[in-house]
């Protein structure tokens, strides 16, 4: 039997110290050992029952319940004031045999993998690598759990791929404590696995594109994500370059994504006609406090996998003294004008080394990032054609009303199908500023004030935008989510209200959903939304 | 004369402090593969935040005829994710004055997360 330790705890915090937030109980569930329960399906179904017990317990106390993984989100999206459940030990991987592939599946069976919620990106990559496969993309590092990634929309900068949720093709949710409350969701237009597979995990199948897309970036509000089916691809290498290029050229590429006709050319990265190749990844780093004519850009090109390449992970990794960072922040809070100088001095630590060339798998290129103290990140999604305009506006605001201790970066992501995915534009530019968390002082505005000004200036300049669910913002800003997603909000709520009972909607709610008003049901709902199509 | 003595004492103190500081350092050896074993209750604000850390802080006594020793780690069946070995001036001194018979061992380690 799976066992849970339920420990009273007065507070909980994110990895990056964005709290603390109040809490009553922290639950940690571990699976029955494989020596006592041989079948992976049995262990998986056994722990599902344990989760259902915990959900019932919370509901009976009129309390909320929220699972979390690596606590990597910087916003309060993972927090629930009553009961939080640590998923990290729920990390089964179940192979998908050919007979479980749906007859209408567009996916090659060898590319389908089923992972339990607490598997990290790193672990999944290792499992895939042992099969000669790879994830299609990841975030900038690898410690997030798969369920956390898709719930919040974690993305990299893969121009033609999308975010992590975009290669998820099946979702196993626990939406209550009854036997029928274990569901397996897929798109009806792209089924992946058979009903027999679903019955192996005791789930009822619902194949419905709209429901699937709503639950995909579900913000933890669609129940407990117990397992996901992902589509992998053949293992590949990424050739990574870090260059300094003319500022106007870097921004022009951001606005147009027209690499083929640009003057930005890297030796060897050209097509048969000598034209520049379209990269796999493009990222621009910008220090808002210097008027440099050149920006640092990171560009990666996809290459077929081969065994004989130099390991890109260095033998020695160093990091700054945390005490030094704390000291600089304390000085910055008293003397904000010193921030640009500090950032300039630390540029070698903050920015990647220019003219660096490395090659490795996705797993190696986006490898471990250790805890480095309190951090913040504000990240807005905009149509890439607005990249330079939006940056100028935010840079000006940051210079005039700041400074704040962080630098900007731009990453670019293909459009998602998820109803509330923030990468909603054909190519979304994720324009982010991140750095060291500071405290409001007489001379330095707070992080919430700064992020509120980001929203205001983008609205004033009529630039449509979204905000990364897992990053810092003024989440109570009036009508924020409606302004970002319009009618999609009603659609998302309709499917949530249809799938979850009223009682369970309350159980799977939290302060974040309340702040964004996403916990409030639609006034009326269509009755028969939750059906297979 | 008195002033010279004072300066001499200060210089000696400074040299000793420098020796103490420079001989006290730690080294981390980290596995490229695997996840650290998590501990959601470990909310310290250091490198090991949310990792399950185990510590060894002991003095090993070996006989004159023993060349070296192995301290056996018995609680990481999955393997080691990271080991941090700490060297202190006291440890070096202890080993020196006991001709290597007593050796201070101060280390932290995190196991690999069990895989399912």
pLDDT in tens, A411-449: 999 999 999 999 999 999 999 999 888 888 888 899 999
Chains A & B: contacts with CB separation below 8 Å: 52
How far is the alpha carbon of A373 from chain B, nearest alpha carbon, in Å? 7
Average pLDDT over residues A378-386: 97
Residues of A in contact with B47 (CB under 8 A): 370-371
Q: Is A3 helix (H, G, I), strand (E, B) or coil?
A: strand
Q: B13 pLDDT band (50/70/90 cuts)?
A: confident
Residues of A in contact with B40 (CB under 8 A): 26, 28, 71, 86, 88
B116 with A91: Cβ contact below 8 A: yes
Among A19, A71, A319, most B C-beta atoms within 10 A, so best to mutate, is A71
Q: B7 pLDDT band (50/70/90 cuts)?
A: confident
Cβ neighbours of residue A528 under 8 Å, at least 6 residues apart?
A: none
How far is the alpha carbon of A362 from chain B, nearest alpha carbon, in Å? 14
- A122 vs B35, B38, B49: nearest CB: B35
Burial class (CB in 10 A: 0-12, 13-18, 19+), A350: middle
Per 3-state DSSP, chain B is made up of helix, strand and coil in percentages (nearest 5) of 25, 30, 40
Average pLDDT over residues A151-159: 92
B116 with A92: Cβ contact below 8 A: yes
Q: Which helix (DSSP H) or strand (DSSP E) does residue B60 occupy?
A: strand B53-61
Q: A29 pLDDT band (50/70/90 cuts)?
A: very high
pLDDT reported for residue B1? 63
- Bridge-based pairing of strands A25-30 and A83-86 is parallel
For A193-233, what is each residue's pLDDT tens digit?
999 999 999 999 999 999 999 999 999 999 999 999 999 99
In sequence order, which ranges of A467-515 are alpha helices (DSSP H)?
A: 480-485, 488-499, 502-507, 511-515
Among B residues 40-99, those touching chain A with beta carbons less than 8 Å apart: 40-41, 43, 45-47, 49-50
Q: Is the pLDDT of residue A116 over 80?
A: yes
ipTM of predicted assembly, 2 dp: 0.92
Q: A403 pLDDT band (50/70/90 cuts)?
A: confident
- The HSE-up count of residue B44 (CA atoms within 13 Å, CB side) is 10
| Residue closest to A482 by CA, chosen among A451, A453, A455 | A455
Helix axes A387-401, A447-460, angle to 10 degrees: 130
Q: Is the pLDDT of residue B19 over 70?
A: no
Average pLDDT over residues A5-20: 96
B40 with A126: Cβ contact below 8 A: no
| Residue closest to B57 by CA, chosen among B111, B92, B107, B109 | B107
Residues of A in contact with B115 (CB under 8 A): 91, 93, 123
pLDDT reported for residue A168? 97
Q: Is the pLDDT of residue A369 over 80?
A: yes
Q: A464 pLDDT band (50/70/90 cuts)?
A: very high
Q: Does A120 touch chain B (CB under 8 A)?
A: yes
B115 with A9: Cβ contact below 8 A: no
Q: B22 pLDDT band (50/70/90 cuts)?
A: low
For A475-525, what is each residue's pLDDT tens digit?
999 999 999 999 999 999 999 999 999 999 999 999 999 999 999 999 876
* C-alpha span between A300 and A70 (Å, rounded): 27
- A313 vs B32, B38, B49: nearest CB: B32
Residues of A in contact with B82 (CB under 8 A): none
For A311-353, what is each residue's pLDDT tens digit?
999 887 777 666 777 777 777 777 888 888 888 877 777 788 8
Q: What is the pTM of this model?
A: 0.93
For A165-193, what is each residue's pLDDT tens digit?
999 999 999 999 999 999 999 999 999 99
Among B28, B33, B35, most A C-beta atoms within 10 A, so best to mutate, is B35
Residues of A in contact with B27 (CB under 8 A): none
Percentage of chain A lying above the pLDDT 70 cut: 99
Instruction: Look over chain B and give the mean of its residue pLDDT values, rounded to a whole number.
Output: 88
pLDDT reported for residue B20? 61
Lowest mean pLDDT among A295-309, A320-334, A389-403: A320-334
Q: A110 pLDDT band (50/70/90 cuts)?
A: very high
pLDDT reported for residue B69? 84
| 3-state secondary structure labels for all residues of A180-206 | HHEEEEECCCCCCECHHHHHHCCCEEE
* C-alpha span between A261 and B15 (Å, rounded): 64
DSSP string, B67-91: ----PPP-S-TT-EEEEEEEE-HHH
Residues of B in contact with A371 (CB under 8 A): 46-47, 49-50
What Rg value do the Cα atoms of chain B yield, rounded? 20
Q: B68 pLDDT band (50/70/90 cuts)?
A: confident
* C-alpha span between A412 and A427 (Å, rounded): 6
Instruction: Look over chain A and give the mean of its residue pLDDT values, rounded to a whole number.
Output: 94
Residues of A in contact with B110 (CB under 8 A): none
How far is the alpha carbon of B51 from chain A, nearest alpha carbon, in Å? 10
Q: B23 pLDDT band (50/70/90 cuts)?
A: low
Q: B51 pLDDT band (50/70/90 cuts)?
A: very high
């Amino acid at each position: 039997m799976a066992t849970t330790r339920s420990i009273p705890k007065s507070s909980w915090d994110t990895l990056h110290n964005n709290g603390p937030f109040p809490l009553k109980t922290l639950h940690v569930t571990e699976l029955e050992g494989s020596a006592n329960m041989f079948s992976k399906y049995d262990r998986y179904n056994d722990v599902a029952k344990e989760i259902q017990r915990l959900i019932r317990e919370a509901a009976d106390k009129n309390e909320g319940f929220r699972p979390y993984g690596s606590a990597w989100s910087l916003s309060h999206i993972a927090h629930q004031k009553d009961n939080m459940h640590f998923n990290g030990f729920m990390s089964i991987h179940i192979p998908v045999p050919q007979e479980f592939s749906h007859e209408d599946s567009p996916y090659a069976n060898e590319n389908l993998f089923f992972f339990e919620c607490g598997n990290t990106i790193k672990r999944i990559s290792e499992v895939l690598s042992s099969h000669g496969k790879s994830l299609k993309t990841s975030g900038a590092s690898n410690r997030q759990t798969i369920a956390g990634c898709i719930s919040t929309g974690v993305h990299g900068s893969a121009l033609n791929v999308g975010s992590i949720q975009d290669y998820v093709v099946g979702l196993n949710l626990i939406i209550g404590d009854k036997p029928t409350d274990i569901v397996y969701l897929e798109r009806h237009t792209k089924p992946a696995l058979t009903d027999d597979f679903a019955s192996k995990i005791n789930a009822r199948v619902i194949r419905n594109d709209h429901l699937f897309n709503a639950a995909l970036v579900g913000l933890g509000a669609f129940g407990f994500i117990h397992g996901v089916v992902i589509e992998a691809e053949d293992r590949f290498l990424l050739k990574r370059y870090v260059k300094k290029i003319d500022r106007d050229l870097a921004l022009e590429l951001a606005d147009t994504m027209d690499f083929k006709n640009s003057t930005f050319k890297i030796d060897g990265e050209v097509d048969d006609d000598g034209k520049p190749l379209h990269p796999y990844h493009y990222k621009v780093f910008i220090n808002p406090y210097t008027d440099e004519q050149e920006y640092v850009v990171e560009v990666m090109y996809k290459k077929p996998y081969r065994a004989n390449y130099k390991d890109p992970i260095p033998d020695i990794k160093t990091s700054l003294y945390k005490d030094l960072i704390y000291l600089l922040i304390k000085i910055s809070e008293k003397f904000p004008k010193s921030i640009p100088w500090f950032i300039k001095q630390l540029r070698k630590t903050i920015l990647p080394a220019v003219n660096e060339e490395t090659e490795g798998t996705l797993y190696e290129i986006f490898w471990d990032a250790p805890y480095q103290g309190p951090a913040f990140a504000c990240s807005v999604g905009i149509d890439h054609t607005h990249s330079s305009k939006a940056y100028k506006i935010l840079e000006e605001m940051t210079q005039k009303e700041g400074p704040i201790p962080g630098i900007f970066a731009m990453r670019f992501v293909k459009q998602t199908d998820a109803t509330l995915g923030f990468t909603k534009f054909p190519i979304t530019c994720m324009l982010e500023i991140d750095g060291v968390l500071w405290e409001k002082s007489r001379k330095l505005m707070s992080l919430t004030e700064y992020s509120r000004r980001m929203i205001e200036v983008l609205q004033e300049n009529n630039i449509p935008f979204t905000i990364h669910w897992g990053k810092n913002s003024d989440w109570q800003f009036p009508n924020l989510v409606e302004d970002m997603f319009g009618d999609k909000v009603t659609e998302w709520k309709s499917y949530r209200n249809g799938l979850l009972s009223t009682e369970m909607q309350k159980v799977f709610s939290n302060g974040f959903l309340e702040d964004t008003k996403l916990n409030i049901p639609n006034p009326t709902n269509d009755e028969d939304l939750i059906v297979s199509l | 004369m008195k002033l010279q003595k004072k300066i001499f004492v200060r210089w000696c103190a400074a040299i000793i402090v420098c020796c103490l500081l420079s001989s006290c350092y730690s080294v981390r050896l980290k596995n490229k593969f695997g996840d650290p074993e998590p501990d959601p209750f470990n909310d310290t604000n250091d490198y090991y935040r949310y990792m399950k850390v185990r510590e060894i802080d002991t003095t090993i006594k070996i006989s004159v005829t023993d060349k070296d020793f192995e301290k056996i780690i018995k609680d990481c069946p999955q393997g080691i994710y990271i080991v941090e070995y700490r060297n202190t001036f006291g440890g070096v001194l202890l080993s020196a004055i006991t001709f290597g018979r007593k050796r201070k061992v101060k280390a932290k380690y995190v196991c690999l997360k069990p895989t399912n």
